[in-house]
Structure 1
Amino acid sequence: MIGKFIVLEGPDGSGKSTMAQKIGQYFSELGREIEFTREPGGTDISEKIRELILDRNNTEMDYRTEALLYAAARAQLVNEKIIPWLEDGKIVISERYVYSSLVYQGLGRDLGMEEIKKINDFGTSGLKPDMVLLLDVDPEKALKRKLSIDGGDRLENENISFHRDVYEGYKCLSDFCPEVRTIDAERTIDEIFQEIKDIINSF
């Protein structure tokens, strides 16, 4: 059986975790084995890198360092876990992937999408998802919700102008990456998931 790699993207607080669980439950009911992961993180090494990236004390981190750390964490996750899971025929559901780096570091940090794509193509051995679902939600609404829960990490605490730049980047992401499917996430959970289910069933 062939594995499937599904990626959920969107601004911080857009509901990726909720939809990941619902997608996993749907495939589980179909008898498929599911693996969940998140970025940055997902392996012992990647989780240590995550701590470095998101630590609110690391305010002096250079943008290039940030981009390379994300790519390093992703490289470890893909090669240690995601590729073997897919080879075993599992459904792999990831909250974030290369697309987040294209937007956050390529556009939000103004490092350039092509440059970010190059380091990530190398790190991921060119692994592409079968499905990329972009949850489109106003960044201010989503961020307020996220910050009210846990106070947020280093990137979540960036100025709202940064998050606006990221959001605008997400809006034009499908021009750069035609595989991205944009979903209006300012609806009920059931309405959002129904659209996702329709997309899954059309593949």
Structure 2
Amino acid sequence: MSAAVPEPSEGLFITFEGGDGVGKTTQAGLLEEWLKDAGRTVVRTREPGGTEVGVLIRDIVLHHRGEVSPRAEALLYAADRAHHIETLVRPALARGDVVIQDRYLDSSVAYQGAGRVLGRDEVRDLSLWAVEGLLPDLTVLLDLDPAAARARLDADDKPFDRLEAEKEHFHARVREEFLALAAAEPERFLVLDASRPAAELAAAVRERVAALVP
């Protein structure tokens, strides 16, 4: 029997994290569909690119053909995050909506802090300042070996963005940092093996979401 859908008195902030190619978009879409079918109002968004300003920043950090220095990259992500949370996420949560977001500050800590070797604490502090301390109610981490994730990306036959195109050791550092973040905050994270069938993953996510609110 499927889990009952929660009816919270205030909004829920749910983020999906993990390396490129792990299936975040698929699982976010399945959760959105389940909640909407139950009558909940859902705001589906992403970082970077969840606002008009964010679309411009996304083009720079992911698709700009020239070099973007690591610190500039981290600052651009933080700028996008500050605007996105202030103008879209906080108003939605205040209305009592469920916000389902593809990537948040944990991605910056993993990709810029570990992948770019800028330092976990520095990047995390920058993002927390940008969003005035807002953390998700739940972060779903889809964990997958980088080689398997790369095989999925190759099968999509799409051009890689700047981060997807990084070398294997970069993505290995990113994965290790995601797992370290989850271990440090087990009450916020739900870690799932992304090699499992999509339906099984979706059921596990729904069970955790249903348990967030009595």
Q: Secondary structure at the match of 1:157?
A: coil
CA distance, structure 2, for counterparts of residue 168 and residue 128 of structure 1: 21
Q: Secondary structure at the match of 1:70?
A: helix
1:177 positional shift: 3.1
Residue matched to 1:201: 210
CA distance, structure 2, for counterparts of residue 80 and residue 201 of structure 1: 27
Q: Secondary structure at the match of 2:53?
A: helix
Matched, 1:190 2:190: no
Task: From the superposition, tell whether residues 111 and 177 of structure 1 become closer, same or farther in structure 2 (CA, over 3 Å).
Answer: farther
Task: From the superposition, tell whether residues 62 and 70 of structure 1 become closer, same or farther in structure 2 (CA, over 3 Å).
Answer: same
Residue matched to 1:167: 175
Q: Secondary structure at the match of 1:126?
A: coil
Residue matched to 2:4: none
Higher mean displacement: 171-180 or 46-55: 171-180
Q: Which portions of structure 1, spanning 4 or more consecutive aligned residues, are displaced by more than 6 angstroms? A: none
Q: Secondary structure at the match of 2:60?
A: helix
Root-mean-square deviation over aligned CA pairs:
1.2
> TM-score, normalization: structure 1?
0.95
Structure 1 letter corresponding to 2:53 = I
Matched, 1:18 2:26: yes
Residue matched to 1:121: 128
The partner residue of 1:106 within 108, 113, 124 is: 113
**Deviations along 1:98-152, whole A, 9 cap, x unmatched?**
0000111111111111101111011111111111000011111112222442121
Structure 2 letter corresponding to 1:21 = G
CA distance, structure 1, for counterparts of residue 62 and residue 185 of structure 2: 26
Where do 1:64-83 residues align within 5 Å? 64-83=71-90
Where do 1:137-152 residues align within 5 Å? 137-149=144-156, 150-152=158-160
Task: From the superposition, tell whether residues 143 and 194 of structure 1 become closer, same or farther in structure 2 (CA, over 3 Å).
Answer: same
| Unmatched runs of 5 consecutive residues or more in structure 1 | none
> TM-score, normalization: structure 2?
0.90
How many residue pairs align between the two structures? 202
1:35 positional shift: 0.8
1:160 positional shift: 1.3
Residue matched to 1:2: 10
**Deviations along 1:173-202, whole A, 9 cap, x unmatched?**
223333222111111111111111111122
User: Identity of counterpart residues, as a percentage?
Assistant: 38
1:55 positional shift: 1.7
